[in-house]
Chain A
């Protein structure tokens, strides 16, 4: 019941938010100009940027990549030298170079995969400036690319007076990014942070207080009489971690930690914040494309897949842990879960956080039952059920392009989307995107397990493969959640994940931008009876089929050596025990 309530609330809030986003990104006058336009002007003046100039796909893409490079270098240097920089009251030491690189890239790619352990290894400067800044800016950058792709689909901002074959204006990257931060991320994060603070999430810059341990004199802790409780501006960071599909928490255990996620209300707020902007983007796309039908179809496809996965995960977690089969415990699988949240809310969070490329957790995914483990992994592999901010909808468009190509042939016309033809050049780029996930995830998984010494597995056997597979999937999908139990702070893990993170972030954003730029230039064919309609059930079903079959075909064999095999083993063990 509370699951449905949370989902309904998310949808209800996303609707007006999507309308607001349409308003601020449509290029027309908007009421928010009064508040923000002067601030934006000031920022552009300081940065020396002409934010009104239009950019074609090349300049847009270059601006995106260069701004990322600059931010990445700054973040890396700050992390490397945090011990000599200010705002380090607890005197935390430097990170190793590979860990610093991994951390910088991980936050730069909106992934927030953490090979460091949150509060213990980062100074307030690192947390506040590297982590939180990137958590605000990177989703805005993803959203900017998404906006450019959407504009490309409609022929660019200069569609009315440009000739066929002329480069199109896909917007201004800096304006889009700054607007997304100022008018979207900051206000929303402020609201969510206040709400969370009201629930007791810490919000301070004081050094960690020291308190006596709760259970004095126990055998295991008899040496220990007091502990430090790390604090900080936690509420603000948790707000943006949830909203910006970031996922990197203040504390190592993320939102399973009572300080990050203290109450049921806080948990509901954080769950809604997970999916709020990704759902709103679908509404926004409908508004910007002026294709409400297409947006409805997208919402239906994503909603169907999302609900189906949520249902499967909840059902799975309500089943007892197979290891306890035949023993006393017959309740749901509570291993790795907070008793406060129980199976349903943990499964809901796990499903949504993997679908949205967020990666924050309120339960340990390593301990999920196999079906739920499969669901979390599917969410990341598909990476377009809501998806990360901006990149999720871009990925969705990529699936739409593939479905349009196959469906277009089946109705006897050169495949076209919104009147623009998908031809060999576009399909070649799509081909790269098609091969990329399996090429990256499977190759790195295979290399890593081929050399067991470097895996740092906590588990042997199929679960070991599952851990490795999950880590790379999470990195490629820019999700950031971990299966845990992996000793992942090693040069191999840090560097290989950096490569996977970069490939998983930039190619899936830049290639669609290229395709959109190429499409935008083409002649637009008016809608007729012979046009493939994208807003009805038939296409929706086709699209779902394409999404499922492509991923099923790409990853089934390796899944057999991971969660599927595990599930089969567990069921047969359970059978034997009985």
Chain B
């Protein structure tokens, strides 16, 4: 980090060049002021006059500029740090290029063109971004995502995308190259993060315009003073007027604005989300509706046993024992979860006799179970399948079975009925388990005004139950892929901004239609092309984090703008009395901060004005903390902290600096 600091310090000097300074109208004014002040210092030195005040002012102005540049440079340096680790993955890669009916030839990855086909074998690195068109492989993407567990990628599925620099662990694949070296979305992202290719986002542009207008207002307010003062025979000190302008124009926010933007992108990247533009991240803060797939986002995606319901007259332990017996050798996740639940409930571990014969699930019987030599026969399966099985053996179906089955189904769970050779014992409840913390997350989003809609292929009853438990605002059941697109259009027609997550090729149209489309890195190339962000972790809940990053970006800008303007009130009461002190003794009444010396007072205000920039760099980089409260409360809190705080803080700080200065000199 110290390296980054040193780098940023140097960069801050480089950015002092006029062609760099011109980018921000506010800082340009400071730049011109600095040059003028330096000129006046030189003039005083040459004429042998006292130049202390001139020199001190020049230096403080210079550091105001330098601090602003430093803020931008440090944000860029941090971005570069993150980008460097990404870049490291794609150095010196070689590729086995496949030509028509030829043996693969080894070429440098940098020579690959889009449309080339390359062969990647176990142990090799993927040379370029692309899509598997043949074969299946497990791939280690840890270099990119930090996640060490390998992922499966297969041609013709929704998980066919591969990224340059990731390592094939086993399998052999043919990859169709989709992006040339230097043009992959990751390359674009890297340049975005580094700030070299940064485009200002829409809100940032609007704010820049507003700040420029305010700057012009202050320039006019000060530039017209000398003429008015001359009318009453007062001559104003030019340096004092420069100080007045610099203190009034919103240098704090203007100096930190680039850093805030870059840091926002960095935060997205820190969450392993690659945004294709800064705009996409900003728009995420405006999202009104989140479209979420049930499976994988809201629930874990596999059904797990969550309860045993014994029929009247059947001991709970007998049902549990039966359920365990027919599941011990069941390799499916459902089967394993039955054994796990039984153990959690304190059932003894069951060891099957060696000669037990496992009956696997089949599409015909739709049940699975176990047959023991002793003649015992245990099965579990869908209610109608077990009923048929029982009836075929002449067993009675108790009347109170159906109510239990219906009750479980109505809760959005799947009932599995357990029976043995003698009778039907009871029901296992298999539920789609909602990920921990999801409901709280949705509640937070709702407080921020974001609606969540769950999309699922489940039937309406199951979907409704899960929707209620997860606390989503709405759900679409029995959804087909094209329904997502229709839903997005419908929401947009109501004026809402929609975000969605997708990975499959058939998600691509919806990803493109959505205002924020977050594609999973594991997804197909089509999905990644269509979305405007890619999540390297392929974690659908990441969308929630992205919304927060977007909001934070805007809040930080708004808060610091307010703070910057609020500061002006105090600065006025310092500098205006100082400017007129010599000519209008009565003005001392405005100097209620009791700053004894006008020049020291001006220097104190300038020093505060300069130091507040580095003091706020950490806030600009981290972003204002966001809490899940309503817009009104959010505004009230921020107005109190940055508005009222912005008015009061400089009074105290400038007084303190002034006391220090007067004590020192």
- Measured between beta carbons, the chain A residues less than 8 angstroms from B228 are 445-446, 449, 465, 558, 561
Contact B569 A431 (CB under 8 A): no
Within 8 A of B (CB), among A502-556: 523-526, 528-533, 536, 538-539, 541-542, 545, 549, 552-556
Q: Which of A408, A533, A553 contacts B558 (CB 8 A)?
A: A408
Q: How far is the CB of B545 from chain A (nearest CB, A)?
A: 14
Q: Is A461 an interface residue (CB 8 A)?
A: yes
- Measured between beta carbons, the chain B residues less than 8 angstroms from A552 are 569, 572
Contact B495 A442 (CB under 8 A): no
Q: How far is the CB of A168 from chain B (nearest CB, A)?
A: 15
Q: How far is the CB of A88 from chain B (nearest CB, A)?
A: 41
| Interface-lining segment among B31-39, B385-393, B627-635 | B627-635
| Interface-lining segment among B303-311, B313-321, B351-359, B443-451 | B443-451
Contact B561 A406 (CB under 8 A): yes
Q: How far is the CB of B207 from chain A (nearest CB, A)?
A: 7
Interface size on A, residues (CB 8 A): 71
- Which B residue sits closest to A460, measured CB to CB? B232
- Measured between beta carbons, the chain B residues less than 8 angstroms from A435 are 213, 216-217, 220
- Measured between beta carbons, the chain A residues less than 8 angstroms from B585 are 572
Contact B635 A557 (CB under 8 A): no
* Most chain A beta-carbon neighbours within 10 Å: one of B206, B221, B232, B576: B206
Q: Is B105 an interface residue (CB 8 A)?
A: no
- Which B residue sits closest to A407, measured CB to CB? B635
Q: Which of A414, A533, A553, A561 contacts B232 (CB 8 A)?
A: A561
Q: Is A419 an interface residue (CB 8 A)?
A: yes
> Contact mask A459-497 → B, CB, 8 Å, 1/0?
011101100000000000000000000000000000000
Cα-based distance from A388 to B430 in the complex (angstroms):
71
Contact B202 A462 (CB under 8 A): no
| Interface-lining segment among A144-152, A226-234, A422-430 | A422-430
Q: Which of B212, B234, B288, B565 contacts A526 (CB 8 A)?
A: B288
Q: How far is the CB of A561 from chain B (nearest CB, A)?
A: 5
Contact A538 B632 (CB under 8 A): yes
Contact B225 A443 (CB under 8 A): no
Cα-based distance from A523 to B631 in the complex (angstroms):
21
Contact B584 A565 (CB under 8 A): yes
Assuming the contacts A443-B220, A449-B231, A557-B244, asked whether A568 and B558 have C-beta atoms less than 8 A apart, the reply is: no
Within 8 A of A (CB), among B191-239: 202-203, 205-207, 209-210, 212-214, 216-218, 220-225, 227-232, 234
Contact B286 A410 (CB under 8 A): no
Contact A528 B221 (CB under 8 A): no
Within 8 A of A (CB), among B575-633: 576, 579-580, 584-587, 589-590, 626, 630-632
Q: How far is the CB of A233 from chain B (nearest CB, A)?
A: 43
- Which B residue sits closest to A545, measured CB to CB? B643
- Which B residue sits closest to A555, measured CB to CB? B221
- Measured between beta carbons, the chain B residues less than 8 angstroms from A558 are 221, 224-225, 228
Q: How far is the CB of A529 from chain B (nearest CB, A)?
A: 4
Cα-based distance from A569 to B583 in the complex (angstroms):
12
Contact B202 A423 (CB under 8 A): yes
Contact B224 A529 (CB under 8 A): no
Q: Is A411 an interface residue (CB 8 A)?
A: yes
Interface of B is mostly: helix
Q: Is B326 an interface residue (CB 8 A)?
A: no
Q: Is A340 an interface residue (CB 8 A)?
A: no
- Measured between beta carbons, the chain A residues less than 8 angstroms from B587 are 560, 565, 568
Assuming the contacts A434-B214, A438-B221, asked whether A409 and B232 have C-beta atoms less than 8 A apart, the reply is: no
Q: Is B534 an interface residue (CB 8 A)?
A: no
Contact B632 A526 (CB under 8 A): no
Q: Is B465 an interface residue (CB 8 A)?
A: no
Cα-based distance from A538 to B636 in the complex (angstroms):
6
- Measured between beta carbons, the chain B residues less than 8 angstroms from A539 are 632, 635
Cα-based distance from A172 to B85 in the complex (angstroms):
62
Q: Is A452 an interface residue (CB 8 A)?
A: yes
Contact B639 A542 (CB under 8 A): yes
Contact B634 A411 (CB under 8 A): yes
Contact B554 A431 (CB under 8 A): no
Cα-based distance from A525 to B286 in the complex (angstroms):
10
- Which A residue sits closest to B205, measured CB to CB? A424
Q: How far is the CB of A530 from chain B (nearest CB, A)?
A: 2
Cα-based distance from A406 to B564 in the complex (angstroms):
12
Within 8 A of B (CB), among A148-192: none
Q: How far is the CB of A441 from chain B (nearest CB, A)?
A: 9
- Measured between beta carbons, the chain B residues less than 8 angstroms from A415 are 203
Contact A427 B635 (CB under 8 A): no
Cα-based distance from A554 to B520 in the complex (angstroms):
51
- Measured between beta carbons, the chain B residues less than 8 angstroms from A571 are 586, 589
Contact A410 B638 (CB under 8 A): yes
Q: Is B568 an interface residue (CB 8 A)?
A: yes
- Measured between beta carbons, the chain A residues less than 8 angstroms from B636 are 538
Contact A406 B631 (CB under 8 A): no
Contact B584 A525 (CB under 8 A): no
- Measured between beta carbons, the chain A residues less than 8 angstroms from B626 are 412
Contact A553 B449 (CB under 8 A): no
Q: How far is the CB of A411 from chain B (nearest CB, A)?
A: 5
- Which A residue sits closest to B491, measured CB to CB? A526
Q: Is A8 an interface residue (CB 8 A)?
A: no
- Measured between beta carbons, the chain A residues less than 8 angstroms from B551 are 412-413
Q: Is A283 an interface residue (CB 8 A)?
A: no
Q: Which of B446, B492, B555, B590 contacts A412 (CB 8 A)?
A: B555
Contact B569 A412 (CB under 8 A): no
Contact A560 B565 (CB under 8 A): no
- Measured between beta carbons, the chain B residues less than 8 angstroms from A406 are 558, 561-562
Q: Is A328 an interface residue (CB 8 A)?
A: no
Q: Is A77 an interface residue (CB 8 A)?
A: no
Cα-based distance from A77 to B446 in the complex (angstroms):
65
Q: Is B552 an interface residue (CB 8 A)?
A: yes
- Which A residue sits closest to B218, measured CB to CB? A553
Contact A557 B554 (CB under 8 A): no
Cα-based distance from A465 to B446 in the complex (angstroms):
56
Q: Is B267 an interface residue (CB 8 A)?
A: no
Contact B639 A410 (CB under 8 A): yes
Q: Which of A464, A523, A530 contacts B450 (CB 8 A)?
A: A530
Q: Which of B209, B634, B639 contacts A427 (CB 8 A)?
A: B209
- Measured between beta carbons, the chain A residues less than 8 angstroms from B447 are 529
- Measured between beta carbons, the chain A residues less than 8 angstroms from B21 are none
Q: How far is the CB of A82 from chain B (nearest CB, A)?
A: 37
Q: Is B144 an interface residue (CB 8 A)?
A: no
Within 8 A of A (CB), among B619-665: 626, 630-632, 634-636, 638-639, 642-643
Cα-based distance from A557 to B283 in the complex (angstroms):
40
Contact A422 B558 (CB under 8 A): no
Q: How far is the CB of A456 from chain B (nearest CB, A)?
A: 13
Cα-based distance from A530 to B492 in the complex (angstroms):
17
Assuming the contacts A424-B205, A462-B232, asked whether A538 and B565 have C-beta atoms less than 8 A apart, the reply is: no
Q: Is A405 an interface residue (CB 8 A)?
A: yes
* Most chain A beta-carbon neighbours within 10 Å: one of B212, B220, B561: B220
Cα-based distance from A557 to B203 in the complex (angstroms):
31
Within 8 A of B (CB), among A378-429: 402, 405-415, 419, 422-424, 426-428
Contact A530 B631 (CB under 8 A): yes
Q: Is B324 an interface residue (CB 8 A)?
A: no
A-B contact pairs, 17 of them (CB 8 A): A410-B562, A414-B554, A426-B206, A432-B213, A445-B224, A461-B232, A465-B231, A523-B492, A523-B495, A524-B495, A530-B631, A532-B631, A545-B643, A557-B221, A558-B221, A561-B229, A571-B586
What 14 new A-B contacts, CB under 8 Å, besides A410-B558, A564-B590?
A: A409-B558, A410-B555, A411-B558, A413-B286, A430-B210, A432-B213, A438-B217, A523-B495, A526-B494, A533-B632, A549-B569, A556-B572, A557-B576, A569-B586
Q: Which 4 residue pairs spanning A and B have beta carbons closest together?
A: A530-B449, A409-B558, A412-B551, A431-B213
Residues of chain B at the chain A interface (Cβ within 8 Å): 202-203, 205-207, 209-210, 212-214, 216-218, 220-225, 227-232, 234, 244, 248, 282-283, 285-286, 288, 446-451, 492, 494-497, 550-555, 557-559, 561-562, 565-566, 568-569, 572, 576, 579-580, 584-587, 589-590, 626, 630-632, 634-636, 638-639, 642-643
